[in-house]
Structure 1
Amino acid sequence: MAKHRLSVVTYREDDGRYVAQCLEADISSFGGTRAEAEEMITEALELYLEDEPVPAPVSDAAVGTVEVEVADG
């Protein structure tokens, strides 16, 4: 078995649940805690990669925020 390192962002939604999202593959998972969400995304990625090639790693990734301005309307 080969091991692969993939980038995952985990954050908390307004409803209190956690979302784990893989940057290389369009895969997300949820959990009641950060650890549970990360456990679930690991399982989801293992199942996904059984049938799909390993995606290329995201290089030079950064997590941050941006400010956008939207007209009232």
Structure 2
Amino acid sequence: MTRYFFDIRKDGYLIPDEEGLDFNDIRSAKLEAAHTLADLARDVARAGKDEDLTIDVRTSRGVTFSVSLTFRQQTH
């Protein structure tokens, strides 16, 4: 098993994951990152403001992958 940490960046602020979660493979870590990003996206959508969200997923070796989402309201 590998421990993955899910550090969240929201509009320039870093929220480091100090605990992490153990997964058997990277696919499981990717699914967790996608679910976490979806939860964060729902919160941002409810707030109705522009925001950049990124989750950097790392192991003891460093960042393995990142997932991002940007909300921008179009003005007409």
Flag whether TM exceeds 0.5 (same fold). Answer: no
Larger C-alpha radius of gyration, 1 or 2? Answer: 1
> What TM-score, normalized to structure 1?
0.39
Ranked by relative contact order (alpha carbons within 8 Å, sequence separation 6 or more), the top structure is 2
> What TM-score, normalized to structure 2?
0.37
